[in-house]
């Protein structure tokens, strides 16, 4: 039996125990704190109205250019490792522990035909999740989604080739998740946003638009 349970699916993270002792949470809004957040309120910084949002800063500076930070992680397998290695404050705690045995729920909607929820457990629930932990969890889940889709689909049209399009759209496939829009190599991970009404963390990917090659 693999690391995925039947419902909701479970991804057990075996991550490095080496972390920073600093505990903070990048956030911009919070509506009504859930039971989970209320329980850890003593470890959270002051809450500013709206929603909790985990974001990334990646050092994308070129040696011949001025310093530059990018606010997303490329999800392509040949690019993500470099982005995570250049992540600013990767070991900062963004979901403080202790986390219950049930872990947390990550919800994925785009580019799927239905919303799917996955349960994620930390290797060390007492310390919670770091920014790097959350990025790794989201990427592992999307790898799983695309792999299952490839194994279960029986029909899929070729990508739509458009002039000057660096990210050709893919028609919907008929696998388990009904992926449409784009293949994973064209996606970027922008943020993970907390929904207090459902007590889930919503993964927010989108498409990296590179524009015409001129």
Domain residue limits, the chain = 9-207
Per 3-state DSSP, the chain is made up of helix, strand and coil in percentages (nearest 5) of: 20, 25, 55
Q: Tell me which range, 10-14, 50-54, 93-97, 209-213, is most confidently predicted by mean pLDDT.
A: 93-97
* Its pTM surpasses 0.85: no
123 confidence band (pLDDT: 50, 70, 90) = confident
Give backbone dihedrals phi and psi of 148, rounded to 5 degrees, phi first. Answer: -65, -40
Continuous segment of H or E residues that includes residue 204: strand 200-207
Pairing of strands 128-130, 58-59: unpaired
Tens-place pLDDT, residues 160-210: 666 666 777 888 999 999 999 889 999 999 999 999 888 999 999 998 765
Q: Smallest Cα–Cα separation from 89: which of 36, 24, 158?
A: 24
What is the predicted pLDDT for the residue at 209?
67
């Amino acid at each position: 039996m693999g690391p995925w349970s039947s419902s909701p699916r479970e991804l057990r993270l075996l991550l490095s125990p080496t972390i920073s002792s600093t505990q903070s949470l990048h956030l911009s809004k919070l509506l009504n704190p859930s039971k989970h957040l209320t329980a850890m309120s003593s470890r959270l910084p002051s809450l500013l109205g709206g929603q909790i949002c985990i974001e990334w800063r990646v050092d994308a500076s070129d040696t011949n250019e001025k310093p530059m930070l990018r606010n997303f992680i490329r999800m392509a397998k040949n690019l993500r490792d470099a982005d995570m290695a250049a992540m600013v404050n990767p070991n900062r705690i963004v979901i403080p522990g202790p986390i219950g045995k049930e872990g947390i729920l990550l919800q994925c909607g785009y580019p799927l035909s239905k919303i799917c929820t996955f349960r994620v457990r930390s290797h060390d629930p007492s310390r919670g999740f770091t920014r790097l932990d959350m990025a790794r969890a989201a990427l592992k889940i999307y790898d799983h989604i695309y792999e299952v889709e490839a194994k279960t689909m029986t029909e899929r049209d070729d990508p739509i080739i458009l002039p000057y399009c660096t990210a050709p759209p893919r028609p919907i496939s008929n696998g388990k998740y009904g992926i449409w829009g784009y293949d994973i190599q064209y996606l970027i991970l922008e943020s993970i946003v907390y929904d207090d009404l459902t007590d889930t963390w919503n993964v927010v990917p989108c498409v990296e638009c590179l524009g015409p090659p001129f």
